[in-house]
Amino acid sequence: MAPIDFIDPTNIRTLFSRAMSDMYRAEVPQYSALLGLVADVNRRTLERDPALRARLESEGGLDRLDVERHGAIRLGTAQELATMRRLFTVMGMQAVGYYDLSIAGVPVHSTAFRPVDDAALAHNPFRVFTSLLRLELIEDPDLRAEAAGYLAARQIFTPGALELIEAHERQGGLSELQAQLFVREALETFRWHRQATVPLATYRRLLDAHRLIADVVSFRGPHINHLTPRTLDIDAVQAEMPARGITPKAVIEGPPRRACPILLRQTSFMALEEPILFEGASGTHTARFGEVEQRGVALTQRGRQLYDELLASVPAGPTYASDLARAFAALPDDWASLRAGKLAFFRYRVLNHAKAKPGDTLNDLVARGVVGLEPIIYEDFLPVSAAGIFRSNLGGDRAHNYSAKASRASFEQALEQPVLDELDLYAQAEQASIAAVWADLGLGTSQ
């Protein structure tokens, strides 16, 4: 039998992310308006800032900008999470990071499925923030048992998707035809369904416990609840949303506006109130919303600690934005200082071989312009920011206190493997670029 010609997982990921975007565009009309706004803002930003355009072109960042998306789903059982991991493996995506959202009163813990190597990220950095419901945080034992029963009875993956996941594992890949079928079948898991799987009375009890619990338990599957494009100027997007018929949330989540962006900033429009069919009744449900993100440099452990301290030092209030900007003056806002303080990760490349000298350190090479540096883009999520988006867009929830019950071990047990550490990935990317510099210059491994 002739060997199977496998399609690259990156190409499967691109097929899937495009199909997902088309589906969400049809389901949520305001998503199209949001994409148009982001495209306009990005075009104007690049026209206004030739240096930014040149940097993105040199890094390969322009090619990925238009296709870059992240989505979010919420799962109900350990089996669903383990199978979802297998599904994302087909597309070259791995579980990166552990996020405890119980600290913000949201009864889930999460990871981000995404590509991890530089080439795959440059081609298509599609990510899916994936949360697992913490049933043990439902206080009412009868409701907890009832919710567990509904979740145990459902199957969120089509038979075709399961067969193709198994084929991928058995064969070591998928053919082009199999990949096309896989995308079609996998998409069904993320599709919106108006028909609830629980009676209206049960839905209301779940809703009273927490809106997110009702969202996870009451439907056939984990409908994609937002699909996020990346902008180069989130403040401009926020300001222009009303003119496009979009009502933004009040505050941009994350750090303040900076000359050298760090980590992640995001904003969104409020969740849609959508008609739902229950057995013998009708109602509404709010779950899906529109979100926009702006990504900056990945911070080191030292940088993250400083970021967390500064963010925590600013209380909520009418002057939050200005207070946040003042607080973040303590975090350097130029690439040289961020690098000198070991606050951020950078990728290095040789610019001028002729100026290199034996005995040069990396600092010498950077100072003389022999080696250039590029900020490594933060590819992950902020726990506090993600929780803030969850809270502010589900609307009307009373405050919940789950006493920050992190349980990474139980999450990884459900996942059936450990999650990768995002800081390790950034450090490895930085070190690989340094090693490539020494090899390119033929200067050994001097530091």
Same domain, 71 and 170: yes
Closest by CA to 68, choosing from 116, 11, 121, 29, is 121
pTM of the model: 0.91
In a domain, 398, yes or no: yes
In a domain, 176, yes or no: yes
Give the per-residue pLDDT at 247.
Answer: 85
Same domain, 234 and 127: yes
Q: Is residue 225 pLDDT above 70, yes or no?
A: yes
First to last CA, the chain: 53
Q: What is the pLDDT of residues 163-194, one digit of tens each?
A: 999 999 999 999 999 999 999 999 999 999 88
Give the per-residue pLDDT at 270.
Answer: 74
CA distance linking residue 58 with residue 121, whole number of Å: 15
Give the per-residue pLDDT at 364.
Answer: 92
In a domain, 1, yes or no: no
- Which amino acid makes up residue 72? A
Same domain, 252 and 314: no
In a domain, 3, yes or no: no
In a domain, 4, yes or no: no
Give the per-residue pLDDT at 384.
Answer: 61
CA distance linking residue 425 with residue 428, whole number of Å: 5
When mean pLDDT is compared across 63-77, 332-346, 426-440, the lowest value belongs to: 63-77
Beta strands in 42-194 (DSSP E): 69-75, 94-100, 108-114, 127-133
In a domain, 434, yes or no: yes
Give the per-residue pLDDT at 52.
Answer: 87
Same domain, 319 and 386: no
Q: Is residue 394 pLDDT above 70, yes or no?
A: no
Same domain, 192 and 130: yes
pLDDT-above-70 percentage for the chain = 93
Q: What is the pLDDT of residues 13-51, one digit of tens each?
A: 999 999 999 999 888 888 888 999 999 999 999 999 998
Q: Is residue 279 pLDDT above 90, yes or no?
A: no
Is there a contact between 111 and 74 (Cβ–Cβ < 8 Å)?
A: no
Give the per-residue pLDDT at 203.
Answer: 93
Give the per-residue pLDDT at 55.
Answer: 81
Q: How confident is the model at residue 391 (pLDDT cuts 50, 70, 90)?
A: low
Beta bridge partners of 127: 70
Same domain, 354 and 229: no
Q: Is residue 355 pLDDT above 60, yes or no?
A: yes
CATH number assigned to the domain comprising residue 195: 3.10.180.80
CA distance linking residue 436 with residue 428, whole number of Å: 12
In a domain, 323, yes or no: yes
Same domain, 310 and 427: no
DSSP letter, residue 255: S
Give the per-residue pLDDT at 403.
Answer: 56
Mean pLDDT of the chain: 90
Q: How confident is the model at residue 398 (pLDDT cuts 50, 70, 90)?
A: low
Q: How confident is the model at residue 271 (pLDDT cuts 50, 70, 90)?
A: confident
**Domain, as residue range, for 258:** 9-296+379-416
Same domain, 425 and 411: no
Closest by CA to 260, choosing from 336, 207, 203, is 336
Give the per-residue pLDDT at 446.
Answer: 52
Rg over alpha carbons for the chain, rounded to the nearest Å, is: 23
The mean pLDDT of 202-220, rounded to a whole number, is 92
Same domain, 248 and 355: no
In a domain, 286, yes or no: yes
Domain count, the chain: 3
Same domain, 351 and 217: no
Same domain, 316 and 383: no
Beta strands in 138-197 (DSSP E): none
Give the per-residue pLDDT at 387.
Answer: 53
Q: What is the pLDDT of residues 50-89, one digit of tens each?
A: 988 988 887 767 778 877 889 999 999 999 999 999 999 9
Same domain, 142 and 259: yes
